[in-house]
Structure 1
């Protein structure tokens, strides 16, 4: 039986898939996982799960939150401001200044 092994490097980190082991039962799988995957790098915790019990849903089978563009969440997006947008901002600022002068705010 094949068992998938997930390793956590430090407490609080995520468990990441690091490989698999072949073992007849859970106890042997845990022991093999410790020997093969737990001692190579710093390890805080190991998870061992039967391969048959792990399910997968990929992008072909389901939509994960749709296709909404959420680039606005990343500051790097604002480095590429469209020139027409910059013109609109300048026009808007000019209109605001003109309106302030008419009101006598300036």
Structure 2
């Protein structure tokens, strides 16, 4: 038995390391709605918990691991770039007397 399109979408987001609340925000749904989709998906495939649901989705090829890993990599890279830019911006705002040479 496989999952619905919405359940696959949620499981893919979970596989990327998002929480139910983060999935809800990305999908413009309530956290309760997303949690209900997760519960129904677990019941449908007889998964014991969310981790087991994600593992089944990957092993049964309901979601593609390569796609999940690629999306996770790009999300991590983007957040890292933002952090780098923010740190650089903060360094530029400090007076030069406060800057120390990093070893």
TM-score scaled by length of structure 2: 0.24
Q: Comparing both structures, which one devotes a greater share of its residues to helix?
A: 2
Larger radius of gyration: 1
TM-score scaled by length of structure 1: 0.24
